[in-house]
Structure 1
Amino acid sequence: MTFKIPLRGFDEIRATTIGFAASHFSELEPDMTTVRPFFVLSSRMSLAAQMLGSTMMAALIASASPAAAQATSLEPRVKKLESEMRAVQRKVFPGASDRFFEPEISAPASAPAPTGVSASAPLTDILQRVDTLETQITRLTAQTEENGFKIGQLEKRLLQMEEQAKAAAAAAAAAPAGTGAAAPGAGASTPRPATPGAAAAASAAPSAERVAAVSKIEKPQSADAGEDAYLYGYRLWEAKFYPEAQAQLRFALEKHPRHKRSSYTRNLLGRAYLDDGKPSAAAKMFAENYEKEPKGDRAPESLYFLGESLIKLNEKPKACVAFTELAEVYPDVAAGRLSDRLATGRRNAGCK
């Protein structure tokens, strides 16, 4: 008894299976459609199935090869992206810590794929690493924007500080800062009595009329700023604007402490205090001028006006010491331009 088995759908493996069957299945009919005993048919079909399975496995492996090749071709590109990302991190955040970004971007070590793992596993790994790169780029972008905002705030603050500094400089320039040739007899002129109410005027806010009057005092403008500063103070003192003169002369000393007119300036500042009813401040300034510049042009005058200030402070014995110092240290001046004043001062102090 024989069985006929139609063979369909095996064109692609026909050559392989026929050759194998021809060499092993001697009982097959020449047309490969007839098998004699049933148990022989079963055995031979099993062998054919094994052959077919092997061939299909080979086909599957071959079909997976393009995916694996694609993953392999993407690997260098992903590594390049990761390297560039690390370079960007070092550029944007040199020396930054892990609080802002990961020091290195590295794909997790993948264990060898076990037998039977899908050929898409390499692609999945690459996609995960690309996602990691996108996350890092997003984080860097946000941090860069935040840094840009902070830098903008700092620049704005610096501009404000510069404007404030310019405003302060403009205010200082608007303050009495004039100069000019010093009046030769300024230090030796006759002392003026303190104007009644001068102290009160100094402490009170100046009236509009006083401000207008002070603004009429001409500010010298020359190439010597120190000279101009002293002369403007002298003009204010001469006009009996004592508080304004004091402020201007202090300004001149602060800006030009080593100017050739510094002895004139300190002496005139002491006189502005004395004429303003401030003998204590005047005495300190006269003593300072004498001690700092004993050879200064106005050191003799400062000793004389120191005695006058001490008389007003009811320190007549000390005033006599100042007058004696003047006569001994500067005998020519004491016998010359200050002779009359010195005699009057000694008499008022009761000096022997």
Structure 2
Amino acid sequence: MTLFHPLRSARTTMLGAVLSAAVVVSAPVPAFAQDDSEARLRRAEAEIRALQRAVFPGGDGRFFEPQISASGSADNPATTRTPSTTAVTDILARLDAVEIQLQRLTALSEENTNSLALLAGRVSALESGGTIANTAGQGAVTAGSPSGATPQPSNEPVATGSNLAAMTGAASEDDDSSDVAQPAANGPSAERLAAVQAITKPQTDDPGDDEYSYGFRLWNAGFYPEARQQLAAFVEQYPDHPQITYGRNLLGRAFLDDGMPEEAARWFLRNYQADRTARRAPDSLLFLAESMIAMGDTRRACIALAEFAETYPAIATGRLADQYQSNRRRVTCEG
């Protein structure tokens, strides 16, 4: 006969409860609960991806720069390179380049037009077999014309506050020298007359521009005395014309290219001092230095080069950079 023991009964009851709880915990979760959790997880992931596409459109870096590049890592991200120039600087540089190209194309176009006109005139002269008559409509210039003397530029010193004031002496020395090469005793040859007269003079509604353009065509063809006569007439008759700075500068070049640097220097200096903001003022100042170099006057050449670099720093490193550096290499300046 088994006697009832209270302590053993309590222990048996507690053990049964623990075993029942273990069975409940270890029992498999119903399948419907697992499916619901998986669906909720997938929906949350889809919503996160949709949110990422809305906030960060494009995953290829076109909209936002990634914190970690292909060459970096989470611990050592790649360094982002910053542009060396701003967008405005790039635009200005491109505009300068376009302006320079347009200037070169314009000059080439005018030179090509003049060359074609010269060739056509020479062909016509050869076909005619004789000297072309000089007509008033053409306004042709001959090297032996009695009125072909080029007027002297003004020798009065121009007030200036720069160190170039010392160069006004170059414009007042040897005033008795002739500005135009003396013609041959028998005058120009028939061939030269025909070649000069074959260069047509423009006929537009701007007579001043026609005079300058005709002088340019003569200079471009290598007829320097005739070009000087024509350009001098333009400078004298149209002192207020928009092309006056071009006329004075080209008149100086017609002397310089003909081996007359002293006369050229007078015109270059005059053009620069007349209006330093004019289009051809920096060109004249640089050609003034070139004239002084041709004369062997290193001191004044260095003064002109220093004045050019100080007055036109942008042009000295831009449009006329090559000519400026070439002249600097030809002389040794102090400082």
- If the length of structure 2 is used for normalisation, what is the TM-score? 0.46
- If the length of structure 1 is used for normalisation, what is the TM-score? 0.44
Structure number with the higher helix fraction is: 1
Larger Rg: 1
Q: Which fold has the larger relative contact order, with Cα–Cα distance below 8 Å and residues 6 or more apart in sequence?
A: 2
